[in-house]
Structure 1
Amino acid sequence: MSNVKYSFLDCNDRKILLREFSEDASIEDVIASFEEIMDMKMLANNTPGVITDLRNVKFEINTNVFKRVSIFLKNNPELYKYKFAALTKSPLQVALVIIVNKVSTKLRVKPFSTKEAAVSWVCEP
């Protein structure tokens, strides 16, 4: 997937997965990236969560996106043990993160405007 870059950030003795999307990414690319993360086993036992930089993602609101997220979570329940921080810059992005959080009450997703705040939240127990 050429429109996403993966790296890891230090969090005490653990590593947070950071996903940064390019300007041509869509919400579909964000969901496909989760599939790639699972296929490549990027989430280790000592990973507390994932920070996703959505600031350059183009959002199209439709119910299919939320259905796809719901199905993906049902097929990958191990994701519920992680925290998911989203770096956002627009009210629409914040609203979409909040809606995704409502897809499942078990999911821990929160929007942030700075990487520092996201890292702090993901690192806390």
Structure 2
Amino acid sequence: MNEKYKYYYDPNTRILYRAHYGNISIEDIFESWNLAIKNNLIPKDVNGFILDYRDANLNVNLADHKKIIAYFDTREDQFGGKKFAVLVDTPKNTVVPFVIEHTPKHYILKTFTTEEAAIDWMLNNEYP
């Protein structure tokens, strides 16, 4: 396991969980996804992703939200049309995901404070 993140795939819900730990930079985010793609950690049948930042400190500038959106938009094969539920529990960690949530992109992102709400939204096909 990497000290900054770990993955868990639930084959019943087809959700890939990704928990983050400690100080996380934009480079950490990109590097970890690049490794996940390279090592085939993203199942082809994945419904979506739950990104848990409750045990992390996001050291990402607000202006970097455009880089994050562009990163995922340029990897539409893996992420296009997928749901991303972001779990946060501090105002500082909420800002960047919330801005991304309200910016047009090729995937759907929503910010949550509880895992139960994130799972419910992830499995609900009636709304994005």
TM above 0.5: yes
In the other structure, the counterpart of 1:101 is 101
Secondary structure at the aligned position of 1:97 is classed as helix
Which whole-Å CA distance do the structure 1 matches of 2:43 and 2:9 have between them? 12
- Whether 1:28 and 2:27 are equivalent positions in the alignment is yes
- Aligned identity (percent) is 22
Query: In the aligned structure 2, how far is the partner of 1:39 from the partner of 1:18?
Result: 17
In the alignment, which residue of structure 2 is the partner of 1:7? 8
TM-score normalised by structure 1 residue count: 0.80
Q: Work out the CA distance in 2 between the residues paired with 1:121 and 1:37.
A: 24
Find the residue that maps to 1:25 and give its secondary structure: strand
Residue identity matched to 1:87? L
List alignment gaps of at least 5 residues for structure 1. none
Query: How many aligned positions are there?
Result: 122
5 Å matches for 1:1-125?
1-9=2-10, 13-60=12-59, 61-63=61-63, 65-78=64-77, 79-125=79-125
After superposition, the CA RMSD in angstroms is 2.1
> Hey, which of these two has a bigger chunk of strand by percent?
2
Shift of 1:90: 1.3
TM-score normalised by structure 2 residue count: 0.78
Letter in 2 for 1:39: K
**What is the SS of the residue equivalent to 1:58?**
strand
Report the alpha carbon displacement of residue 99 of structure 1 after superposing the two structures with TM.
Answer: 1.3
- What one-letter code is carried by the residue in structure 2 that aligns with 1:29? D
Shift of 1:86: 0.7
Code of the aligned partner of 1:4: Y
More helix as a share of residues: 1
Deviation per CA, 1:82-123, whole angstroms, max 9, x where unpaired? 100011001232221121234433321111111111111111
